[in-house]
Amino acid sequence: MCVSAREVGAKPACVKNCAGKALHYGDINDPESDVSKVLQKAGEENVFALRDFGNKPTTRYVLKRATWKDVLPHGLKELSSKKGHRL
């Protein structure tokens, strides 16, 4: 996430260089931040996140003309890597 850029208050390179302006970055807990305004404008019904398995995902996806599909099994309680380590 471009730690060096964020440390000086700059946007991550992927956000800054996104030709379609589809990527946004900021504090979603600050209602005055640009990213919070984008999410609010999109409408709660169009904002999705990955399920939380204890890693507290912060990425949000805005889908206005598509359907969100949770591809992970609904009964899944924890994730494991191929080597058997818990993720």
What pLDDT score was predicted for residue 83?
Answer: 54
- Domain interval for residue 82: 1-87
Q: What are the structure tokens assigned to 83, written together?
A: 């080597």
| pTM: predicted TM-score of the whole model, two decimal places | 0.68
**Would you give per-residue pLDDT tens digits along the chain (87 residues)?**
688 888 888 888 899 899 999 999 888 899 999 899 999 999 999 999 988 888 888 889 999 888 888 777 666 665 555 555 444
CA angle 39-40-42, nearest 5°?
Answer: 65
What pLDDT score was predicted for residue 44?
Answer: 93
CA distance 47 to 60: 6
Q: What are the structure tokens assigned to 56, written together?
A: 């507290």
What pLDDT score was predicted for residue 74?
Answer: 64
Report the domain count for the chain: 1
What pLDDT score was predicted for residue 17?
Answer: 92
